[in-house]
Each structure stands twice: as C-alpha cells, then as structure tokens.
Amino acid sequence: MRRLLSAFGEAWRAGADVDWSTVLTGRQVPLPTYAFQHQRYWVDAPSQPVQGAVGAADPVESEFWDAVEREDLEELAGTLQLSEAPQLLGSVVPALASWRRERRQRSVVDTWRYQVVWRPLESASSGLLSGTWLVVGQSDGDVVAALTGAGAEVVGLPADGALDRAGLAERVAAVSDVRGVVLVAGTDRGLGRGSSVPDELTAVVVSLQALGDAGVDAPLWVVTRGAVSVGQSDRVADPMQAAVWGLGRVAALEVPQRWGGLLDLPAELDARSGARFAGVLAGGGEDQVAVRGAGVYGRRLTRAVAVAPVDEGWRPSGTVLVTGGTGALGAHVARWLAGRGAPHLVLTSRSGVAPDGLVEELTELGARVTVAACDVTDREALAAVIAGVPEQRPLTGIVHAAGVTDTQWLEQADRDAMTAVLAAKVDGAVYLDELTAHLPLELFVVFSSGAAVWGGAGQGAYAAGNAFLDAWVQHRHDRGLPGTSVAWGPWDGDGMAVQGDTQHMLSRRGLSPMEPELAMRTLATAIDSGESGLVVADVEWSTFAPAFTSARPSPLLADLPEVSSVLEPGSDDGDTAELPWLLADVPATERRHVLLDAVRTHAAAVLGHSGAEEVEPGRAFRDLGFDSLMAVELRNRLQAATGLRLAPTLVFDYPTASVLVDFLLAELSGEEFGAPAEAASEVIGVDEPVAIVGVSCRFPGGVGSPDDLWRVVRDGVDGVGGFPGDRG
C-alpha cells in the first residue's frame, strides 16, 4: 500500500492529475465515550490590528522579513539587488533576524501588561436611602450615622466574636423590608498565625451564606478602612482588609444577586464623606469604591504603559531564595535568575525534591543550588532556611512563588477549608518580611494571580490570599522597602497548576495560557524598571468581557477600549431581564419553545459552541461537558435573563435543557413545579429492616458526619466539589 501511494505521489509531482478523494477515501474512526469538545478551530482574522503588534505593510515587506527570520541570504540578496556579493549580508542578517524576533516578542508581551488604577468619580447628587438597612457584625457609629442621615432605618445585628451562620440567618429572616446590608470588616490581626482564617474574611462568607439561607437577596456591601491606596500619598494601612476585597470579587461572580460591592472608607468619616458613602449605596453602578476626603474613586483595570528595555538590568548577587522553587513556576524563575548570573539559589518546597535535571541545568548556567524542604507556613522552618544562607553569599533577594489552590464555593466554604489556601500566601509573605527585616534586600517579588484582580468562581480563598500579597507589596513600599507584585494569568507548559480541562475552559473564556519564556520576560522588565504592581495576562477581551459581565456589569473593565467596543451600552445589564417581556408577547402555546431556545443558546455560549443546535434538549448537561464553573456561568446568564433568583445548583437540580425549561416556565408563570429529584417509586415500610453499609460521611458541602449529611439533604446544599487531597 505504501509503494502504491508513493507511486501516486510521484505521478502527482510530475504533473499527473490524481483524484485524491478516490485514492484516500474517508474512513470511520472510533469516538471517545466521554464528553469531548466539538467546535470549529478556524482562526478568525482580527477585525482591527492589535496595538503595538509588529506587522508588515505589504506582501513584499512580509516576504522580506520572512527571509530575514529564515536568514536566507540568497533571497535577500536578490530582493536588495546585491547579486554580485550576497555574502556581504552574512554579518548583518543574523543581527537583523535577532532584532526582528526581539521586536515580535516585545510587541506580544506589551499586550499582556495591565495595571489597576483609581479614577475620580462624580459623587451622587442624592444619596437618599429607604427601607431597612442591616448593619452586621462590628458596630461602627460613623457608618450607622451616615445611613441614618441618608434616610435608612438601621437595624444592627452585632455579634460577639465570630458570626454564626444559623443564628445570623434567623435574625435576618426576622427583619422585614430589607433593602441593603452593610458588613463592617473588623480589624482582627490574623497575620502570620498559620492556624486559622481571620474573622474579617469568615464574616463575609457567613453573611453571604446567612442571607441565602434567609431567602434575602438584598445587596451586601462590605466596608473596609485602609485596604486600598488611591494615590501615592494614600497608604495601605491594613493589608488583611485588602484580602476581603479579593474575596468580594469572587462573591460578585458566584452570588451576584445578593452582592452590593466593596467600599473603603477613610479613618474618620465626616459629614461630607458620610454623604458620599451613602451616595454610593444609593446607586450608580459602581461596586469597588474608595471614599476619601478629596472625593470618590472607582477601581479600574487599564493597559500598563510600555516600558523600554533597560541596557543594564538588575543583576543578582549573593543568594536568592525562591519559595515554591521546585514547582513549574519556580523552576522558570530559577532558570532566569541563573541566567542573570545569580551565584547561589535556594529553592524551597514542601517536599524538598527538585525535578529531574533541574539542579544540573542551573549548575551549568553557573549557579550553586540548594534545595530545601520547607513549608512557608512554618515560621521556624523558614527561619532555619534563612539562617542557613552562607555569610559569604548573603541573602539579597526573595521570590515568593509558593501557593496552594483549591476550588470551593462560598455557599459551602468554611474556615478550615480556606486556611491552607490562604496561609501559603499570607503567612508565607509575612514570615519572609519579618525574618528578613534586618537584611538589605535588593529584591522582594511575590507571585499573585488574576483571580485577585477580577475574581474567579470557586477561588474565594485563593483570590483573598493573592489580594493580600498585592497590598502587602504596597505596604512594603510605604515603609521604604523593595517589592514587586505580579498578578499572573494562566501559564502554559507541563507541571502548571492550570492544565487539561481547566486550561481549555479558561481559553474558551478568553484567558489563553502564556508561554513561560515570554512571561518571564515581563517579570524581568518589571524588575528592571522598578514597577511595583503589574497584571500580566493574555486576554481575548471579545470573549472574556461578555462572559465576565453576563450576570452583572463591571465598571472594572470600563477603561479598556477593547471592552467598550465589544459591550454596547446596556447590552449586558444584569438588571435587565428580557425573557419575561419576550414571553409575554407570544402565545402561551409557543412560550416553552421560545424559552427552550433561549436556554439552549445560553448553554451553547457557555460551552463555546457556535449555535443552540449543539445542545440537545434531552441530553444531560454533564454529558454535554458542563463542569461546576460552567454551571455557575449558565445560572448567572439565566438569572440575568429571567430576573429569577436561581440556585447555584440549578444545572444539577434540573439536569437537561428540557427539564430546566419546565422549571423556569413554572417559575415565570407563578405555577408550582415538582421537586427536582424524582421521588422513590417505593417507600420502605417502617417494619422492614434497613441495612446501612459503609457510611463514611465524607462528602463535599462540609459533610463529615451523618448529621452533616442530613443537613445537606434537608437544606438542599450544593454537594459538588473537588476530590479530597488526602484520598488515596
């Protein structure tokens, strides 16, 4: 067969007309039995050129640069009409090719660079409030006075110590006409304890859970003081309260129907600032706001100004410590440091085992390498590592790249589950700061995450920990100490925390994994130019922005021109529920068809399909490829489209498009709809024996005992979660 095909190939190359469709006929191939991705992969040409991209003006120029990058001297000599001496190009073309590649790489990484800024906002002309406003947790006389002065009836729900979910839900349910809820974040000093999550974080989680348990969808506003800096003279007084902001950004995505926003107030709230505070609560669409004596400021994400390369960048001396140094990210950092001439690298990880070949590779680059087993949440162990740095090569730099990730929804989150994720970021940074306070460090870099910038469903603790890191670096700057924080998007390559289905899902949402070499280039530029806070991510805004704003608008993205061109004003307003109006205009016999088409369209958009026909009405969402993150996104879309209060477990309670439409139609028409789970066909009589076989009672949703399992069943708690890390 191979000889026959070779003969056909030789004949075709000689000019014969070969009917390849007959020679190479189609054949059936087995398809996987699991839910695989099926979508088009043709690359669409961009509607407009990317700012800063290096491109060719015409085909001739394109051919020229292509020949340069291939270092094709003969072709270049002909193009430049240097036929008598093409060898003269031999010395200049390699340099020109290198310059071209450099320009291409720089143009790419420049499109990845963003920063967070604070924009002055117009204060609301009228900050009048109505109805009952709850003030939960810590009492704050200034906040109560501002609410009362704006016309609100204030009901205080104080708590001695940590908030109790069941007790708070009962107290909330007893209050009628609740228009809004204000939680004043406490000042629990939870820094560097390594044992528990600070009360200011758990208070936010418990408040959201209690509001849901009580069936109250009034917006929750979380008030902090000193959590953010709106300018050079405005200091971050409390980095732990910045962690509350990271958690809040996740709440906006997971529970948009009962999330108001984040408000940072000055230390003293005078009458004018109090009026501004009330004005934000009264409306205006802003949900991340700082009130200061000079005015009101809104948080925005913008493109960072391109930085020219530095001729002489930072050169490491002595010893550089890299936490998480044997992981995928840490290994890339170590290679870059060794390439920059670092004499000695200390790489820590919990296992203390480096990947095969890493130490040898770094040694060949000229660095001495020490690999140490050290959990950064263990202060004594970290102190021992730092004390072990040789005097002849003193510690001059730190890169804190250690971290732990875990997916957990705020509806089921508890203090214990959040501790490990938060401690690796918070305790690690605090201990490193404390243990090196006496050293003249040249470098202090922390690896943050895009989850801290815009949030991430199921990433509450992770976003909180990374938001703390961003604020901690600002806090170091306020003390005159070096610090650089980089909030990364997903990286490409083996060994990354984001891989496989998760990486594919992020790509479909507009977050493409970055090449490690180019990502490290952005880090080098930030360090060399002295930048303190940077967001680095490869974002396709035409995909990301519509999904991100599907449940509620986000002023955070308002200053990005790419987003403005994608989102027409009002087109993604989460307060506009178009389906009830649409259904009212069609005959009752056609409403189910219209609603089914809408559900299938939204489901297809979440899955990344081109049209609703890809979603079969009777096929289970799980079989279509839905995961927990997709379920939340579809819930958010349908919630915005219908105006209904929908549970995060919607897709799992009503597992097909057809069943889901029946439920939504009943809700929209005010009719009763049966329970999502089918009733058992037979009821076991009380006289019959019941066998209980192997009940371990370890399930998602906080289940650790039979009582917990009954609570999940009774209250309809979402039981979808990740596999336990300690299960064999």
pLDDT score of 711: 58
Q: Taking the CB of residue 544, how many other CB atoms lie within 10 A of it?
A: 21
Q: How many CB atoms lie within 10 A of CB 344?
A: 22
CA of 3: how far to CAs of 7, 9, 10, 15, 428, in Å? Answer: 6, 10, 10, 19, 64
pLDDT tens, position by position, 69-112? 676 766 666 666 666 555 566 666 676 666 677 777 788 889 99
Question: Can you identify the CATH homologous superfamily of domain 578-669?
Answer: ACP-like (1.10.1200.10)
pLDDT for residue 428 is more than 90:
yes
Type and span of the H or E element at 348: strand 344-349
pLDDT at residue 163 above 80?
Answer: yes
Q: In which residue are the tokens 């019959």 written?
A: 688
Tell me the percentage of the chain whose pLDDT exceeds 90. 50
DSSP 451-519: HHHH--TTBHHHHHHHHHHHHHHHHHHHTT---EEEEE-PBPSTT-SS-HHHHHHHHHTTEEPBPHHHH
Per-residue pLDDT at 50:
43
The stretch 514-523 carries a mean pLDDT of 94
Instruction: Give the CA radius of gyration of the chain.
Output: 29
Contacts of 283 (CB under 8 A, 6+ apart): 124
What would the mean pLDDT of 509-514 be, rounded to a whole number? 88
SS3 523: helix
Q: What region, left, alpha or beta, does residue 15 occupy, with left being phi > 0 and alpha being psi -120 to 50 degrees? A: left
Q: What pLDDT, on the 0 to 100 scale, is given for residue 705?
A: 58
Query: What are the tokens at 387?
Result: 């004390």
Distance, in Å, from the CA atom of 230 to the CA atom of 236, rounded to the nearest integer, reads 9
Domain range annotation of the chain? 52-110, 119-303, 319-539, 578-669, 683-728
> Residue 278 has what pLDDT?
94
319-539 CATH: 3.40.50.720
Assess contact for 327 and 333: CB atoms under 8 A: no
Q: Which of 79-93, 157-171, 299-313, 632-646 has the lowest mean pLDDT?
A: 79-93
pLDDT value of residue 180? 96
Give the C-alpha separation, 216 to 131, whole Å.
Answer: 14
Q: Which CA distances in Å does 370 have to 39, 347, 359, 367, 573?
A: 47, 6, 8, 10, 54
C-alpha–C-alpha distance, residues 183 and 173, integer Å: 17
Cα(223)–Cα(164) distance, integer angstroms: 19
Q: What is the per-residue pLDDT for 683? A: 37
Confidence (pLDDT) at 501: 56
pLDDT category of residue 697 using cuts at 50, 70 and 90: low
pLDDT digits (tens, 9 = 90+) for 306-365: 777 666 789 999 999 999 999 999 999 999 999 999 999 999 999 999 999 999 999 999
Residue 188: pLDDT over 60: no
Establish whether domains 119-303 and 578-669 are of one fold. Answer: no
**Residue 431 half-sphere exposure, CB side, CA atoms within 13 Å?**
25
Local structure of 368: helix, strand or coil: strand
- DSSP character string of 96-147: HHHHHHHHHHHHHHHTTEEEEEEEEEPPPS-----SEEEEEES--HHHHHHH
Which of 23-37, 177-191, 258-272, 623-637 is least confident?
Answer: 23-37
Give, to the nearest 10 degrees, the angle between helix 379-387 and helix 415-435. 30
In the predicted structure, residue 694 carries a pLDDT above the cut 50: no
CATH tag, 119-303? 3.40.50.11460
Mean pLDDT of the 394-411 span: 91
φ, ψ for residue 579 (rounded to 5)?
-65, -45
Question: Is pLDDT at 718 greater than 60 in this prediction?
Answer: no
pLDDT for the residue numbered 457: 84
pLDDT class of 727 with cuts at 50, 70, 90: very low
pLDDT in tens, 607-623: 888 788 889 999 998 88
- Give the range among 28-42, 119-133, 196-210, 558-572 with minimum mean pLDDT: 28-42
What are the tens digits of pLDDT across the range 439-496?
999 999 999 999 999 998 889 999 999 999 999 999 999 999 999 999 999 998 765 5
Dist CA 665 CA 687 (whole Å): 41
Tell me the C-alpha distance between 218 and 210, whole Å.
12
Write down the number of H helices and E strands in the chain. Answer: 27, 17
Closest to 655 measured CA to CA, from 691, 636, 631, 639: 631
Distance of CA 113 to the CA centre of its chain: 16
The reported pLDDT for the residue numbered 509 is 78
Between residues 33 and 547, the one the model is more confident about: 547
Top pLDDT among 442 and 500 is at: 442
Cα–Cα distance for residue pair 327/59, rounded to 1 Å: 44
User: Across residues 693-701, what is the average pLDDT?
Assistant: 53
Phi, psi (deg, nearest 5) at residue 292: -130, 170
Instruction: Using the predicted structure, report yes or no on whether residue 533 has a pLDDT greater than 80.
Output: yes
The pLDDT of residue 127 is 78
Residue 538: CB partners within 8 Å, gap ≥ 6?
111, 112, 489, 511, 512, 513, 514
Neighbours of 159 (CB within 10 A): 18
Pair 180, 221: CB distance under 8 Å: yes
Query: Alpha-carbon torsion 237, 243, 246, 250, what sign?
Result: negative
Q: Is the pLDDT of residue 504 over 80?
A: no
Average pLDDT over residues 515-532: 93
- The pLDDT, as a whole number, for residue 156 is 94
- Residue identified by tokens 């009943």 is 666
Summarize the confidence of residues 653-668 as an average pLDDT.
Answer: 91
Q: Which amino acid is present at 659?
A: V
Cβ 489 vs Cβ 468: under 8 Å: no
pLDDT, mean of residues 2-9: 56
- Lowest mean pLDDT across 9-23, 512-526, 579-593, 617-631: 9-23
- Please report the pLDDT score of residue 560 as a whole number: 94
> Within 10 A of 57 (CB to CB), how many other CB atoms are there?
7
> CA–CA separation, 528 vs 315, rounded Å?
9
> Exposed/middle/buried for 507, CB within 10 Å: 0-12, 13-18, 19+?
middle
Asked if residues 211 and 179 have their Cβ atoms less than 8 Å apart, the reply is: no
Computed over every residue of the chain, the mean pLDDT equals 81
Confidence category of residue 35, pLDDT binned at 50, 70, 90 = very low
